[in-house]
Structure 1
Amino acid sequence: MGPSPRTLELFYDVLSPYSWLGFEVLCRYRNIWNIKLQFRPTYIAGIMKDSGNKPPAMVPRKAQYMANDLRRLKEHFQVPLRFPKDFNSAVLEKGSLSAMRFLTAVNMEHPESLEKVSRELWMRIWSQDEDIVESQSILAAAQKAGLSAEKAQGLLEKSSTAQVKNQLKETTEAACKYGERSGWALCLPP
């Protein structure tokens, strides 16, 4: 029997393809690296606002680099990542607020389903070029992840409550505070 696993918090937003790549790599290697993943749904727009940063797609050189970088990473990590055809609409205009509130509700009520529901939402936007913010889209992802229609509908209703909104805000603020302390570096245990 080896050492106890270390807990690694993964703050993520399904709007971020880099978050998806990190999510899949950490899920894939968690047993080898002896880590216990704690998934923390976070609102990336809140992080961007807090940091004063712009999405990479809004900065021409970063956008060009991101497209090439994601192509290489997609192949290296074997993740079926594909840019949405209407990137501006899907990513920059629609955003992810309702999806992230839904994932926050999942985490609060059925944390055992969070990994699968998160993956299905990433698959919708970053592989299948499908919506992630409309109610029927969120419900479809939840059901594909194994949640019953009744549970999914209940979580969708809960996602508009003050309790869920506050939890997502608190988690996003916690992610921002980590950034202040660590410079956003992700360190894996030795």
Structure 2
Amino acid sequence: MGKKIECYLDIVSPYSYHAFSYLQKNATALADFGVEIEFIPVFLGGINVGSGNKPPWTLPAKAAYSKYDGQRAQKFFGAKFNVPSWFPILSLLPQRALTYIKQRYPKAQFESAFLKCFMTMWNDQEQLDISQPENLAKALSGVFSAEEIKEILAAAADPKVKGELSAVTEKAVKELGAFGCPWFWVANGDGKTEPFFGSDRFHFMWDYLDLPFENLKLKARI
């Protein structure tokens, strides 16, 4: 097994958006080091239920802290947005659609669709609730034709696609230990694998993959 990062993401998670954008930004460098990246849609609601975790907005202390941490993450990753008034959403429709797209279409098109879903929900001037079919269709426009979007939305209601998203989500919890998103399962190229959680653990990941990188360091006063 070579070096690989499996990224388990849900568009409802802004930290998944940060992780997705960061890995795409560094995709060329990672490929040069022989590291494969795979983005995998999961249902965060199912991960929370399966692991016994609770979303930050349901716990007062976590909710209060998130106001600070969210702004810090936006500054670090270069994405500026407000949390939509309709947040959170039930993300089953877009995650099922992305599950189908991943199976049916080329990798580049799948990743473009994932990015458009993230941006339509989080980073556009007109943020849209893409759990609604008409808004998901808008998010997918420009990546797919009108006929392809119609096909994708229909497929998202197919029991087989629903079951596939459910199975991947269950695997993330029961086999990979996931309790939130983004969740990473990383192979280091020496036959070993380990989990990583969150969008602020990449320095640990690079060290595990034995990649050259500069760690955070203070600048000395002049």
In the alignment, is residue 123 of structure 1 matched against residue 119 of structure 2? yes
In the alignment, is residue 148 of structure 1 matched against residue 119 of structure 2? no
The Cα RMSD (Å) is 2.0
| 1:107 aligned partner | 102
| Distance of 1:106 and 1:73 partners within structure 2 | 29
TM-score after normalising by structure 1: 0.87
Is the Cα–Cα contact under 8 Å of residues 83 and 127 in structure 1 kept in the other structure?
no
In the alignment, is residue 81 of structure 1 matched against residue 81 of structure 2? yes
Is the Cα–Cα contact under 8 Å of residues 178 and 184 in structure 1 kept in the other structure?
no
Larger Rg: 1 or 2? Answer: 2
Return closer, same or farther for 1:184/1:32 CA change in 2, 3 Å cut-off. closer
| 1:49 aligned partner | 49
Give the superposition deviation at 1:127. Answer: 2.0
C-alpha deviations, 1:75-110, integer Å up to 9, x for none? 1111233211x1xx331xx32111111111111111
| Larger helix fraction of residues | 1
Return closer, same or farther for 1:26/1:5 CA change in 2, 3 Å cut-off. farther
| 2:26 aligned partner | 29
Gaps of 5+ in 1: none
Gaps of 5+ in 2: 179-192, 211-222
| Distance of 2:167 and 2:106 partners within structure 1 | 17
Q: How many residues align?
A: 181
Larger relative contact order, structure 1 or 2 (CA cutoff 8 Å, min sep 6): 2
State the AA in 1 paired with 2:171: A
Give the superposition deviation at 1:17. Answer: 0.5
State the AA in 2 paired with 1:121: C
- Taking only the aligned residue pairs, the percentage that are identical comes to 27
TM-score after normalising by structure 2: 0.75
State the AA in 2 paired with 1:57: W
| Distance of 1:125 and 1:67 partners within structure 2 | 18
State the AA in 2 paired with 1:132: I
Give the superposition deviation at 1:71. Answer: 0.6
| Distance of 1:42 and 1:27 partners within structure 2 | 18
Give the superposition deviation at 1:61. Answer: 1.3
C-alpha deviations, 1:43-82, integer Å up to 9, x for none? 0000000111110111111112112111111111112332
Match of 1:161 among 151, 158, 161: 158
